[in-house]
Amino acid sequence: MITFYDNKGKIVLSAVCADDAVQALIDNPDFSNYSYLRAEYNPQEFYIDINTAQPVPIPEKPGPDYYFSYNTYSWELRLDVAETRAINLRNTLLANSDWTDTLSSKNRLGEDLYNQWQAYRQALRDVPEQAGFPLAIVWPTPPE
């Protein structure tokens, strides 16, 4: 078993193999810039403390818009990912309500329900203008 890691503690390879294969990996020039431990650690679960050469569990990911930073050894929010996710959901909700925005929909729905759908669609278009966007969004509720 062997785990190679870079100068920030990010695990780049972890494998179970025979002792001769471990030595071949250690001698491989492709791995000459990495440190190693003779143990196996899952790179999704651990990083290596470069000061102590000890494995450290990566904390649980707080949400889908976070990435683990090997500079701070913590999860950091990617606002651009959160914004893209929110815009994609907004666009899907708009597309799913396109049927209410046709020339005949006012006649089919009636004026009151048609106006409710128009207000809902406008509220969806206004989502990026909300104060908490993209992290704290109050999603509008579609008419019944």
pLDDT in tens, 79-121: 999 999 999 999 999 999 999 999 899 999 999 999 999 999 9
pLDDT tens digits, residue range 29-70? Answer: 999 999 999 999 999 999 999 999 999 999 999 999 999 999
CB atoms within 10 A of CB 47: 20
- Tell which residue, 126, 123, 127, has the closest CA to residue 141: 123
- d(CA 113, CA 48) in angstroms, rounded, equals 59
pTM of the model: 0.65
**pLDDT-derived band of residue 8, with 50, 70 and 90 as boundaries?**
very high
In the chain, domain spans = 2-77, 79-129
Q: What is the pLDDT of residue 19?
A: 87
Which among 40, 50, 66, 48 has a CA at the least distance from the CA of 58? 48
